């Protein structure tokens, strides 16, 4: 498939999905306000960590081995469904035995149901979507998720009534979490019907599983560390700040994550390409794309710096007046981390997951120490500032490693060139395989 088509599919369809998701996030924040929406997103943060641990990052191995067809995609599909079932059963038993406390606005019974829906649904979706991505198909899984997200937007009970009868403030979040199960099942069925088409119950061989787990477990360790790098501050803020402050900070964090969506889309497309493109070409592309993200997001950050004081409460609601100060402190981290996704994808494609993991680990140490020291005194602004410092540490480490193996200098990732626009256009319109 031409490079331009791969990038367009990733950017357009994933972009529409994330735009719809961001809109849903704004509507939930406005309707349920900072305290309730903050509690829901804090619970989702915990569910996401459990999902990451249970999933063993096999989606990384699925993309890596599926793209090269080193393991039969049908076998990968069968094993991913089996693993989702096993993980779901273990999770259900653990929640019955060990989950005994509820959270603000969420009952214990709902907490268990929401966790099962979220984790099992996301496992099945991430594995199935990765099988599509390995075959350079970004259309099907994102269209499925986009349609379901639009239904969630319609289902919101505006002024006490929903587009769908029977949905209220009291039961909306049951529908919200049920969405994850439906999303996973629909995506798995789509892959089965479009790519497998017939009953095929064979599982990967022992050697296949050894390769899959050897690659995935290293990615798993790196992903856990990275998850903690950009989410561990939630726990510090929840412990030392008010519920409303937590809601404000989570929205700042989610806004920052929105900046990372476009780089992550490009990174998803880059991962399969690293196996086919030569080293010098990839190094040139990475520097060029990183420069583009740096200056593009610098302009957006400047705009929000000038307008955010009144824009954030206007968009998210009057309970989010604390967002602006924290966002200012997060800007350096946004600019730093947004340029890193292409590098981490490049390293993953070159089977250099250990490099990603070590850089992230150094950054995580900085973030934990900074949050422990500063958040109790300075609150969410300190959490944002510490995150920025950690992201910069990660960036410096990866750039230094990249310089050791490539002729491209570090300055190439930062210095704007007038021919950049023409070069980007050439890449996007290229018909090379």
Contacts (Cβ under 8 Å, ≥6 apart) of 12? none
Domain spans, the chain: 1-204, 235-427
CB 116 within 8 A of CB 42: no
* pTM, entire model: 0.75
Q: Which residue from 62, 61, 78, 31 is spatially nearest to 203, judged by alpha carbons?
A: 78
Ordered per-residue pLDDT tens for the chain, 433 residues = 455 566 666 677 877 888 898 899 888 888 888 888 888 888 888 888 888 888 888 888 888 787 777 788 888 888 888 999 888 888 888 877 777 766 666 778 888 888 889 999 999 999 999 888 888 788 899 999 999 999 999 998 877 677 788 888 888 889 999 999 999 999 999 998 888 877 667 787 888 888 888 888 877 888 888 889 888 999 999 999 988 899 899 999 888 877 877 777 666 655 555 555 556 666 667 777 778 888 888 999 999 999 999 999 998 888 898 999 999 999 999 888 777 777 877 777 677 778 888 998 999 999 999 999 999 999 999 999 999 999 999 999 988 888 877 766 676 777 766 666 666 666 555 544 4
Q: Which residue from 134, 334, 129, 343 is spatially nearest to 222, judged by alpha carbons?
A: 343
The residue count of the chain comes to 433
């Amino acid at each position: 498939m031409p490079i331009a088509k791969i990038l367009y599919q990733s950017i357009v369809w994933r972009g529409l999905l994330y735009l719809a998701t961001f809109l849903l996030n704004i509507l939930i924040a406005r309707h349920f306000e900072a305290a309730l929406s903050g509690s829901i997103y804090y619970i989702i943060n915990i569910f996401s960590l459990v999902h990451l641990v249970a999933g063993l990052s096999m989606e990384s191995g699925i993309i890596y081995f599926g793209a090269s067809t080193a393991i039969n995609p049908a076998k990968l599909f069968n094993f991913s469904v089996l693993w989702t079932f096993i993980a779901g059963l273990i999770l259900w038993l653990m929640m019955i035995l060990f989950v005994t406390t509820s959270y603000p606005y969420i009952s214990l019974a709902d907490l268990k149901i929401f966790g099962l829906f979220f984790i099992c649904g996301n496992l099945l979706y991430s594995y199935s979507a990765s099988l599509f991505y390995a075959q350079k198909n970004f259309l099907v899984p994102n269209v499925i998720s986009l349609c379901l997200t639009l239904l969630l937007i319609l289902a919101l009970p505006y002024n006490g009534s929903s587009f769908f009868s029977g949905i209220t403030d009291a039961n909306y979040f049951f529908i919200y979490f049920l969405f994850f199960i439906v999303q996973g099942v629909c995506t798995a069925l789509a892959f089965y019907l479009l790519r497998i088409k017939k009953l095929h119950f064979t599982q990967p061989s022992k050697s296949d599983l050894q390769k899959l787990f050897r690659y995935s477990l290293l990615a798993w360790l790196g992903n856990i560390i990275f998850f903690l790098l950009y989410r561990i501050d939630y726990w510090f803020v929840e412990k030392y700040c008010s519920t409303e402050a937590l809601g404000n900070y989570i929205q700042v964090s989610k806004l920052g994550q929105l900046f990372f969506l476009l780089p992550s889309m490009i990174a998803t497309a880059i991962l399969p390409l690293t196996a086919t493109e030569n080293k010098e070409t990839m190094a040139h592309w990475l520097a060029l794309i990183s420069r583009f993200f740096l200056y593009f997001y610098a302009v957006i950050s400047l705009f929000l710096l000038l307008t955010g004081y009144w824009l954030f409460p206007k968009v998210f609601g009057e309970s989010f007046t604390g967002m602006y100060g924290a966002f200012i402190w997060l800007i350096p981290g946004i600019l730093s981390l947004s340029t890193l996704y292409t590098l981490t994808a490049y390293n993953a494609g070159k089977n250099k997951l250990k490099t990603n993991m070590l850089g992230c680990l150094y950054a995580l140490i900085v973030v934990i120490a900074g949050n422990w020291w500063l958040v109790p005194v300075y609150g969410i602004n300190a959490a944002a500032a510490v995150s920025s410092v950690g992201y910069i540490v990660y960036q410096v480490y990866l750039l230094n490693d990249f310089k050791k193996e490539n002729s491209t200098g570090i300055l190439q990732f930062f210095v704007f060139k007038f021919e950049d626009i023409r070069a980007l256009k050439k890449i996007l319109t290229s018909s090379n395989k």
